[in-house]
Amino acid sequence: MSTSALPIALIYRGPAACRGCPETIADLLRQKYQIIYAGPKEQVDVNTNTLSAAQLYIQPGGGDLDEAWPHVRRYASPIRDYVRNGGKYLGFCLGAYLAGTEPGFGLLPGRGQTDQYITSKGAVVTSEIDTVVPLFWRGMLRHVYFQDGTRLMIDRTAAPAEILAVYTNGEIAAAVQNYGKGRVGMVGPHPEANEE
């Protein structure tokens, strides 16, 4: 199948993404999607036009939320509109934090929010050190790369949600929730990480 016949996955690549993260995600999706990188120094940026052509928008992991926010703030409204009107958002680590509102794109219905897993009661990691954490992914114990990932505080009364993974203390590590006509996928740790 030629790549032009595949649906488009728009992956952010810019100063708010960690080195190699967009490419690692692209490698995983290449069989099912035509990959287009979007960002301030790419051939296309993240905006209403580029999002309207995409079936999926991906915000990869990156650095600190407060440092990343100035680089992606201008994308908040187009991304919110895209998802509300039927688009799909997938955020890994920083991208999951950005689904929240403090600061973020505001993609969590009701009182939904994101926060550091390391600050939660019973967290197995309590510092920002890069490590591996145990979690239950669809009920199966897995060990996943972790870089100060988020916990998801999903308001299940506001919109349907599917919990995909929980940390060992019961906090939500990965979920998909409806937002308007679209869907928001969020993953706090890095299951997409390769051995590098």
Query: What digits encode the pLDDT tens for the residues 84-123?
Result: 999 999 999 999 999 999 899 999 999 999 999 999 999 9
Query: What digits encode the pLDDT tens for the residues 53-82?
Result: 999 999 999 999 999 999 999 999 999 999
Query: What digits encode the pLDDT tens for the residues 125-167?
Result: 999 999 999 999 999 999 999 999 999 999 999 999 999 999 9
Instruction: Kindly report the three-state secondary structure assignment for every residue of 60-112.
Output: CCCCCHHHHHHHHHHHHHHHHHHHHCCCEEEEECHHHHCCCCCCCCCCCCCCC
* Cβ atoms within 10 Å, residue 34: 18
**Under 8 Å between Cβ of 62 and 68:** yes
Task: Identify the three-state secondary structure at position 24.
Answer: helix
Instruction: Find, among 152, 159, 146, the residue nearest to 190 by Cα.
Output: 146
- Report, as an integer, the average pLDDT of 47-56: 98
What is the CATH classification number for the domain harbouring 167? Answer: 3.40.50.880
Query: What digits encode the pLDDT tens for the residues 26-39?
Result: 999 999 999 999 99
| 196 falls within a domain | no
| 80 falls within a domain | yes
β-strand pairing of 88-92 with 34-38: unpaired
Q: Which residues constitute the domain of residue 125?
A: 3-187
| 146 falls within a domain | yes
Q: Number of structural domains, the chain?
A: 1
| 172 falls within a domain | yes
Give me 158's structure tokens.
Answer: 């506001």
| 192 falls within a domain | no
